[in-house]
Amino acid sequence: MRTARREPSKDAIVLGVLDAVERNPSVTQRSVARELGIALGLVNAHLNRCLSKGLIKIGQVPPRRYAYYLTRRGMTERSRLTTTYLMDSFAFFREARLQCSELFQGLVARGQCRLMLVGGGDLAEIARLVARDYLLEIVGIAPAGVDPVGLSASLKEFGSFDAIVVTTLEQSRQAFAAAIELLGAERVYAPALLRVPWPASAPAGGRGNER
C-alpha cells in the first residue's frame, strides 16, 4: 500500500530542530532536513529564527565547525511545544477514530465492505486501524488525485472495491469532488473533520460525525 508523509507544521519543525540540537550539538542542517523530511532551506530558515529568538546559541568548535546549544529559553520553548504537540496529536487521534468508527458503521449497514482510501498519512492509518474492528477490507491507499482522470489512473492497480473513503488532509475538497465525479456520491465518503462540501445526493450517515 502506498502512503504519503504529511509535511510537518511550523511548530513541529521548530520542535524537531530543538530536539536535534539537544541530542547532538554538532548536528548538521542536512541531517535535520533528512530526519524531518523537509527541504534544507526550510531547516536553515527555522534555525535562523531560533537563533534570533534566543532559543539556540552557537559556538565554534575546531576545525572550522559550529556547534548549537539550547539556551534556557530554548529548553522552555521545547517543553511547551512538546506538550502542545502531544495534546494536539491525541485530540486528532480521538476525533478521527470516533468519526471513522461512525462512518464505517454506516458502510457496513450498506454492505460496502471493500474500501479504497484516497490519500495517505495520519488519517489513513487511523482509518486502517478502525476498519479492523468492523471487519472491513482496505483494498489499498491511493494517492490523492485532484481530478477524475488522475484519480482513475491511481485506482486501476488496486482492482475492485465497493466505496472510496477520502483520507487526505491536503486538497481534501478537490480529491472528494474528483472521486464523486468518477464514481458518484453513493460510493464516496469522508470523515466530517475534512469539512468537504457534501452533495445533496450523498447517502445519509456518510458524513461521519458532523458538527
Domains and CATH numbers, the chain: 10-70 (1.10.10.10), 92-194 (3.40.50.2300)
pLDDT band at residue 201 under the 50/70/90 scheme: low
pLDDT given at position 181: 94
pLDDT band at residue 5 under the 50/70/90 scheme: very low
In the structure grid, which three cell numbers stand for residue 94, read together?
480521538
Cβ-Cβ contacts under 8 Å for 202 (sequence gap 6 or more):
185, 186, 188
Instruction: Give the H or E element holding residue 166.
Output: strand 163-166
In the structure grid, which three cell numbers stand for residue 201, read together?
445526493
Cβ-Cβ contacts under 8 Å for 12 (sequence gap 6 or more):
36, 85
Average pLDDT of the residues in 31-50: 90
pLDDT in tens, 136-191: 999 999 998 888 998 999 898 899 999 999 999 888 889 999 999 999 999 999 99
Residue of 176 and 197 predicted with greater confidence? 176
Whether the per-residue pLDDT at 72 is higher than 50: the answer is yes
pLDDT given at position 194: 87
Q: Which of 142, 138, 139 is nearest to 129 (CA)?
A: 138
